[in-house]
Amino acid sequence: MECLSDKKLHAYVEKSLPAVECSRIRDHLIVCESCRERHRRILLLESCLLEPVYQEPPAVIEEQVMRRIYARIPSLSSVLVLIGASFLFLVSWIYVYFDFANNSFIQALRLTTANTSSWIGSVVKVISTVFTAVYGGFKALNKFFAIVFDVNVGVEIFALTLLMFSLLLFYGIYQWLFKRSKKQKI
């Protein structure tokens, strides 16, 4: 009998051959040293595959793999900028939606923050400035729609449009910051 192919040896190890052929292969393995050595290696490989040995990877490899998997984590400063800008637009949207321009509480805040230099006064000034600009834009846009399309856009529709626009804007800013921070890490 000539030497066995690897395919036949694998089939013999897996016990997928008929009994007559298995006995012929067994007899050949008794006689042929080279086939017996290949059979022993296949058995060793099968045992290793059935019971793999777990080894702890070195810390350097683990760090590199985790950096590749989680490379998309933005830096803390970009997240804080995004949260701050989102808060500013959310407050401006609420400002527009509820029409706080004529609210006495906001007017009182404007008067009290006129002479203060605290960061709260600065935030209120920024919000008031943004509101004034947005509200002026709303009035101009409303007048434009009334003249051209004979439609009066309500504050609610404008506020929702502003909110959607600001969400899209901040998503774009976030993506830009994320891509920029990813380039800096590489």
The residue ranges of every structural domain in the chain are: 6-50, 75-185
128-175 confidence digits (pLDDT tens): 777 677 777 777 877 887 888 877 767 666 666 777 777 788 788 777
pLDDT value of position 49:
83
Are 170 and 89 contacting, i.e. CB atoms less than 8 angstroms apart? Answer: yes
pLDDT value of position 50:
84
pLDDT beneath 70, residues of the chain: 1, 71-76, 78, 91-121, 124, 127, 131, 153, 155-160, 180-186
Are 3 and 36 contacting, i.e. CB atoms less than 8 angstroms apart? Answer: no
Which residues, other chains included, contact 126 with Cβ-Cβ below 8 Å and sequence gap of 6+? 88
